[in-house]
Amino acid sequence: MNGDRRILDIVSPSTYQEYDRPQHVITISVIGLSGPDSIKGSTGVGKSVLCNRLVRPEFENFYIDHITHLSQADFSGSPVINNDHWLYWGEAEMDADYSGKTTHIRFIEQTEFIDDETFEPIRSSRQTSDYIKRALRVNLESHDKLMYICRDQLGAESSFETRILPDGKTNIDAFLLVFDVSRLI
C-alpha cells in the first residue's frame, strides 16, 4: 500500500464535510501605537493596512483609508464596532499541511477609537481605558461582532459581506507588534 494514502480515501462523503471545516484556528492580535493624533501622528503605524493586506490580499479588496475617528452613534450602534476598541478582521486560510489539516489565522486589531467631536478617546463602560492593559488581554468577547471591511461599512453593514465572530468570542494565541521605524530614520 501507498504510505501517503489518507484515511479519507475510504470514508463516506459526510465525513468529507466535517473534514473540510476549519480544523485549526490561530488568533493573532495586532497591536501598536494607538490614540489621538498628538500621540500616534496623523497616519498611525499601519495596523489596519497590515490586517487588510493579510486578510484580503487581492488588489480590488484592499482599502487604504481606515477608521480612527468615530461618532458615539457608530461606536455604540454599529455591530462592526460593537462598543469595543478592537476590530475583527476575519480569517486567512493557510494551505493544508501534509496531513490535510487546514489552518485559519484570525486577525484582531486592538485600537483606540477617537470621538469625532471631542477628539478624545471614546470611553466604553465595558473596557478599561488603558490601551496597554486592554490590548494585552487574551480573552475577547463581543456577541454579534461583525467582521470589519472598510470605513464605508459603518451604518451600511447590510451592503457588505456579513461575517460574525464565531461564538462571539476568541482567545488570542499570539501578538503582532507593529512599529513604524521610518519615523526614526
CATH number at residue 121: 3.40.50.300
86-99: b or e for each residue (b if 16 or more CB lie within 10 Å)?
bbbbbbbeeeeeee
Q: Is 43 within a domain?
A: yes
Question: Which residues form the domain of 79?
Answer: 23-184
Q: Is 166 within a domain?
A: yes
Q: How many domains does the chain have?
A: 1
Q: Is 3 within a domain?
A: no
- Is 145 or 3 the better-scoring residue by pLDDT? 145
Q: Is 58 within a domain?
A: yes
* 37 — pLDDT class (breaks 50, 70, 90): low
List, for residues 45-77, the tens digit of each pLDDT value. Answer: 889 989 999 998 887 777 877 777 888 888 888
Residues 180 and 40: beta-carbon distance below 8 Å: no
Q: Is 50 within a domain?
A: yes
Residue type, 130: D
Full strand arrangement of the beta sheet holding 174-178: 86-94, 103-110, 24-32, 174-178
pLDDT recorded at residue 39? 64
Name every residue whose Cβ is closer than 8 Å to that of residue 59 and which is 6 or more positions away in sequence: none
Distance CA 147, CA 163 (A): 5
Among 78-82, 113-117, 124-128, 140-144, the least confident range: 124-128
Q: Is 41 within a domain?
A: yes
Distance CA 93, CA 67 (A): 25
CA-wise closest residue to 52 among 87, 85, 77, 27: 87
Residue 121 grid coordinates: 478617546
142 pLDDT above the threshold of 70: yes
Q: Is 9 within a domain?
A: no
Q: Is 145 within a domain?
A: yes
